[in-house]
Chain A
Amino acid sequence: MSSRWGRLYNGETTIDFVGRRWWGFIASGTLVLVTLFSLLFQGLNLGIDFEGGVAWEAPVKNGLTIESATAILEDNNIESRNAKVQTLGSGAGERIRLQVDDQTAEVRSAVQKSLADAAKVEVGEVSVSSVSSSWGRSITIKAIRALLVFFLLVSLYIAWRFEWKMAIAAIMAMVHDVVISVGVYSLLGFEVTPSTVIAFLTILGFSLYDTIVVFDKVHDNTSRFSASRVSYEDIVNVSMNQVLMRSLNTSLAAVLPVLSLLILGSGVFGAVALQEFALALFVGLLTGAYSSIFIATPLLSILKSREPKFRSLIGQRSLKADMTTLMQTGSSVSRKQSARSGADATGAKANPVDAVTAVLSHPPRPRKKTRR
């Protein structure tokens, strides 16, 4: 019960998230810098759907090797130096993938036939995909436009449902997610395919869901503490600790299927298409879970604590036991009930205002009657 796990389990943690916000900002800042450098020097490994080109995938059978496959390319007057050659999967599902620039339909089917002959399989067993580069560009532009519209609409919605400062914090966190994920893809040289984009979009939705749940809690707590002089940092800290278990649970619940797809689906069964999804989902889930805790909420606290109502309270943070007190008295427990369970060390102070002022380092300013 008193163990760390027990406190976490019962939502009784008292972690000072706001006090440690610079850790998160510095870590993220570093990652963003690394991303920018990586994009500058290494760029992104874009798949054919974005760059355009032709790709063949043939099963590795009957002595079809990378050498014989590239030889087939040369036979069709394609410079094999410019070709991207990969082996995918393993065991019976092992495949060779050849990717080159735009080719005519005749060349496409000629190479397909030759590959099938070399592997001694039916022509249909060799997959071909071709994308013109102009199409790839239009896809990319469409995706980016969709993303921007999405950002815009979501911020409008959050601004309407909660407040505009929350919208800014949420969008910043989402942009952060996108940038970091792109960085991971650039740095490790993973190929960006439409599946990757889809997976990132899923994760954006997911990370946003996470952020909104936290903000909803903050929103609730703000109105609950509005009668008392509690700093915004405190509100954020309390809210974060209250939803921490939920955030962890949710992330775990989301990561489990993804891990299963990644390890079982693409690792054991060797389904390459799944790997593309699962990898992007995994990267995105991690950054998403991280950003809603370490970016979105701290940003919100910075934005909000400058407001007149909270400005004088900047830097006031109730820590450890004090935070527990704040959490409990601030919760919707009625006075009568907490009084009854009054054996509790701090529970005797039934009035939330008293409980809060008890932890302040200086005497409270007298309240004006006209205040809410």
Chain B
Amino acid sequence: MRRKLLFTLIATVFVSMALVGGNLIAGNKPSLGLDLQGGASVTLEPKGDFDTAALDVAVEIIRARVDSIGVAEPEIIRQGSTVVINLPGVKDQERALEIVGRTGEVLLRPVLQSGMRNTDETTTTIAGQTTLPGATSSTVAGATTTVAGATTTVAGATTTVAASTTSQPASSGGLGSSRRPMSAATTTTPTTSPATSAPSTTVGSGEVGATTTTVAVAVSPSVPQQDISMTNEPSKQAILEGRDGLVYFTGPSQADGQVFANDAAAQINSGSWVVAVGLRGGATGEDKWNALAAQCFQKAATCPTGQIAIVLDGVVISAPVVQTANFSGSVQISGDFKEAEAKDLAKILEFGAVPVRFDSPTAQTVSATLGKDSLNAALISGLVGVLLVLLFLFFYYRRLAVVVLGGLAISGMLQWSAISWLSQRNGLALSLSGITGIIVSVGVTVDSYVVFFEKLKDDVLGGKTLKNSASRSFDSAWRTIVAADTVSLIGAVVLWFLTVGSVRGFAFFLGLSTLCDIIVAYFFTRPTVILMSRSKWMNGAKMFGVRARRTDGGNDLLAESSTEGVVAR
């Protein structure tokens, strides 16, 4: 019995410390919520009908977008059908919210590449160029056009070159998204004929513009970035940045992602990654796509480059060259894809097929200083509060309060480990309501001890020895503790499943601290008190604040009956 208790106690302490140690070594630490760290938060709610699978894809795409703007610890949580995006520590909140809050719509636009009026310049740029083998850097394709309103003409066509991306002129450097230069040359072919075209042969934007055109270089910087990235109005022409770092001048959107069936997949074809996607039948699918493809294949005025830009949220994801006029049933996009790129494109096409449009019913930004102030205030006042509770318990229960101190420490370690681990694994963040919940839960935890100790006191007052009553009082107190904690757990579970937002976060911490309470009561408090009750340190003295009821002779009932207790057993 004694050995078993000792083992339980040591094991509990050891496990708690090991958990903390493990988390420390793994570098896990609780991540702070938005209200403590400052940052931006948006809640997105799907509008109208949506598909659960599509929502999953949408969440992944949002995640990718958030990652691309370099937020340290984004928290993207699906709560039922709503998606909560927390971007702690974001500096440019407005931009972050704007990027996240976009609709996630896939548009198909013919690539005009260069404006009609400046054909001369552009052709000269392209004319007579040789592809530099090995030189993979990007070229900013000529973009000239009338921007919204058709009055001002902006000449685009820039250039550049070679080898190092740093040597790009301001025009392309300023475009913002040329993080990952890659060949823009992708092609679309019907799946029936395997991809034959080598990338970067026929495509203007894919060639390395080796030179010149001073005209364009001079003009481009004057194009405000805003105008380029923001005008994704489907019915108008637009200058859009590409994911590959190029700028596309595109015509009005002639189809959207819904022409594709929901089956896009990345696959290996002739040793290179391609993306295959089916077309929906009928007027809204195949016909629409073929109408666009035909224009591009013929390099008609509306699609002089022969390229179709696949645009997601105003960013050209890929601009494949159309290889045939008539697609039946499916489309295969091939190019110089890496595996990840192909998969990414497949995901986007799939997403475009079943778009989810979001509403953002709440948006919030919290200033960093406000968050830090709250955190400090909560921590300091929380610690003071816990200290006061401990003082009170020491005054009231004397040496028994040591058990409370130990129990709180164990409970603290367990909670810290769980929160750290979940922060790392599941993107849990400790919010102000969470911290408050934990501080208040100290009260609940202490309650368990009080129930136990009062029971113990009762028994000792009633004339039992501490040694005998410890284990029995625990059994009785344990029932009470479990009954009361079950109610708390019911509350936590109900709140978790039926609410959203901060109430839900709170429910988690309520449940966590209740579980810790039960664990600590059984695996720490029980063995500790029972072991202590057998030690000399506790016995015979009024070490836990009990004065035994006095008999007439003034004998201490506690001392008197202690011998009897032994006999009785």
Q: Which of B362-402 contact A (CB under 8 A)?
A: 362-370, 373-374, 376-378, 380-382, 384-386, 388-389, 392-393, 396
Q: For A203, give the chain B residue with the smallest CB separation.
A: B440
Cβ–Cβ < 8 Å partners of A281 in chain B: 436, 440
Give the docked Cα–Cα distance between A105 and B364 (Å): 11
Given contacts A132-B362, A146-B495, A208-B484, contact A258 B503 (CB under 8 A): no
Give the docked Cα–Cα distance between A185 and B542 (Å): 45
> Of A154, A259, A265, A277, which one neighbours B433 at CB under 8 angstroms?
A277
Q: Chain B, 264-307, contact with A by CB distance < 8 Å: what is the 0/1 string?
A: 00000000000000000000000000000000000000000000
Cβ–Cβ < 8 Å partners of A11 in chain B: 454, 457-458, 461
Stretch at the interface among B235-243, B326-334, B547-555: B547-555
Are B487 and A127 interface neighbours, CB within 8 A?
Answer: no
> Of B378, B396, B476, B564, which one neighbours A261 at CB under 8 angstroms?
B378
Give the docked Cα–Cα distance between A128 and B360 (Å): 14
Q: Which of A182-221 contact B (CB under 8 A)?
A: 194-195, 197-199, 201-202, 204-206, 208-209, 212-213, 216, 220
Cβ–Cβ < 8 Å partners of B363 in chain A: 105, 108, 128-130
Are B373 and A93 interface neighbours, CB within 8 A?
Answer: yes
Are B454 and A269 interface neighbours, CB within 8 A?
Answer: no
Given contacts A212-B484, A269-B380, contact A274 B462 (CB under 8 A): no
Centre residue among A126, A202, A216 by max chain B CB count within 10 A: A202
Q: Which of B418-446 contact A (CB under 8 A)?
A: 432-433, 436-437, 439-440, 442-444, 446
Instruction: Give the distance to chain A from B32, nearest Cβ to Cβ, in Å.
Output: 13
Instruction: Give the distance to chain B from A213, nearest Cβ to Cβ, in Å.
Output: 6
* Residue A42, interface by CB 8 Å: no
Are A261 and B451 interface neighbours, CB within 8 A?
Answer: no
* Residue B501, interface by CB 8 Å: yes
Are B564 and A340 interface neighbours, CB within 8 A?
Answer: yes
Q: How many A-B residue pairs have CB under 8 A?
A: 272
Centre residue among B367, B368, B369, B459 by max chain A CB count within 10 A: B367
Are A269 and B499 interface neighbours, CB within 8 A?
Answer: no
Given contacts A201-B491, A271-B374, contact A143 B440 (CB under 8 A): no
Are B564 and A271 interface neighbours, CB within 8 A?
Answer: no
Cβ–Cβ < 8 Å partners of A270 in chain B: 373, 377
* Residue B110, interface by CB 8 Å: no
Cβ–Cβ < 8 Å partners of B382 in chain A: 257, 260-261, 265
Instruction: Give the distance to chain B from A345, nearest Cβ to Cβ, in Å.
Output: 9
Give the docked Cα–Cα distance between A184 and B2 (Å): 53
* Residue B38, interface by CB 8 Å: yes
Q: How large is the interface on B (under 10, 10 to 19, 20 to 34, 35 or more residues)?
A: 35 or more
> Of B440, B502, B552, which one neighbours A257 at CB under 8 angstroms?
B440
Given contacts A331-B458, A341-B557, contact A265 B380 (CB under 8 A): yes
Give the docked Cα–Cα distance between A255 and B557 (Å): 35
Are B494 and A333 interface neighbours, CB within 8 A?
Answer: no
> Of B381, B388, B501, B557, which one neighbours A139 at CB under 8 angstroms?
B501
Give the docked Cα–Cα distance between A128 and B364 (Å): 5
Instruction: Give the distance to chain A from B373, nearest Cβ to Cβ, in Å.
Output: 6
* Residue B561, interface by CB 8 Å: yes
Give the docked Cα–Cα distance between A153 and B444 (Å): 21
Centre residue among A112, A216, A344 by max chain B CB count within 10 A: A216
The majority secondary structure among interface residues of chain B is helix
Give the docked Cα–Cα distance between A337 and B468 (Å): 14
Are B547 and A10 interface neighbours, CB within 8 A?
Answer: yes
Given contacts A150-B495, A274-B436, A337-B564, contact A194 B462 (CB under 8 A): no
Q: Chain B, 97-118, contact with A by CB distance < 8 Å: what is the 0/1 string?
A: 1000100000000000000000
Cβ–Cβ < 8 Å partners of B484 in chain A: 208-209, 212-213
Are B436 and A261 interface neighbours, CB within 8 A?
Answer: yes
Q: For A342, give the chain B residue with the smallest CB separation.
A: B551
Give the docked Cα–Cα distance between A158 and B551 (Å): 41
Given contacts A129-B365, A204-B491, A257-B440, contact A343 B553 (CB under 8 A): yes
Q: For B490, give the chain A residue with the smallest CB separation.
A: A153
* Residue B488, interface by CB 8 Å: yes
Are B378 and A341 interface neighbours, CB within 8 A?
Answer: no
* Residue A107, interface by CB 8 Å: no
Give the docked Cα–Cα distance between A11 and B457 (Å): 9
Q: Chain A, 310-342, contact with B by CB distance < 8 Å: what is the 0/1 string?
A: 000000000000000000100111000110110
* Residue B93, interface by CB 8 Å: yes
Are B551 and A213 interface neighbours, CB within 8 A?
Answer: no
* Residue A273, interface by CB 8 Å: yes
Are A264 and B384 interface neighbours, CB within 8 A?
Answer: yes
* Residue A33, interface by CB 8 Å: no
Are A124 and B38 interface neighbours, CB within 8 A?
Answer: yes
* Residue A306, interface by CB 8 Å: no
Are B480 and A213 interface neighbours, CB within 8 A?
Answer: yes
Q: For B368, give the chain A residue with the smallest CB separation.
A: A124
Cβ–Cβ < 8 Å partners of B560 in chain A: 341
Cβ–Cβ < 8 Å partners of B486 in chain A: 157, 161
* Residue B498, interface by CB 8 Å: yes
Cβ–Cβ < 8 Å partners of A175 in chain B: none
Instruction: Give the distance to chain A from B252, nearest Cβ to Cβ, in Å.
Output: 25
Q: Chain A, 249-276, contact with B by CB distance < 8 Å: what is the 0/1 string?
A: 1101111111111011110111101100
Cβ–Cβ < 8 Å partners of B364 in chain A: 127-130
Are A142 and B447 interface neighbours, CB within 8 A?
Answer: no
Are B365 and A128 interface neighbours, CB within 8 A?
Answer: yes
Given contacts A135-B45, A216-B483, A261-B378, contact A194 B502 (CB under 8 A): yes
* Residue B450, interface by CB 8 Å: yes
> Of B370, B392, B487, B557, which one neighbours A212 at CB under 8 angstroms?
B487
Give the docked Cα–Cα distance between A277 and B378 (Å): 11
Q: Which of B456-487 contact A (CB under 8 A)?
A: 457-459, 461-463, 476, 479-480, 483-487
Please list 29 pairs of residues, one from A and one from B, whose beta carbons are closer than 8 Å in the complex, sorted by A's number.
A11-B458, A127-B370, A129-B365, A130-B362, A131-B362, A134-B361, A143-B503, A146-B494, A149-B494, A149-B498, A150-B495, A161-B483, A202-B437, A206-B440, A206-B443, A206-B444, A209-B447, A213-B480, A246-B454, A250-B443, A253-B443, A253-B450, A256-B385, A256-B389, A257-B385, A261-B382, A265-B382, A274-B378, A340-B564
Given A158-B487, A269-B381, A332-B459, 20 more contacts at CB 8 Å? A112-B365, A143-B499, A146-B499, A201-B491, A204-B491, A205-B491, A206-B444, A209-B447, A249-B396, A250-B446, A253-B447, A255-B443, A257-B440, A270-B373, A271-B378, A274-B381, A277-B432, A333-B463, A337-B564, A344-B551
Sort A-B residue pairs by CB-CB distance and give the 6 closest, nearest first: A257-B385, A254-B443, A135-B361, A260-B385, A265-B381, A269-B377
Partner-B contacts on A (CB < 8 A):
1, 9-11, 49, 57, 59, 93, 95, 105, 108-109, 112, 123-132, 134-135, 139, 142-143, 145-146, 149-150, 153-154, 157-158, 161, 194-195, 197-199, 201-202, 204-206, 208-209, 212-213, 216, 220, 242-243, 245-246, 249-250, 252-261, 263-266, 268-271, 273-274, 277-278, 281, 328, 331-333, 337-338, 340-341, 343-344
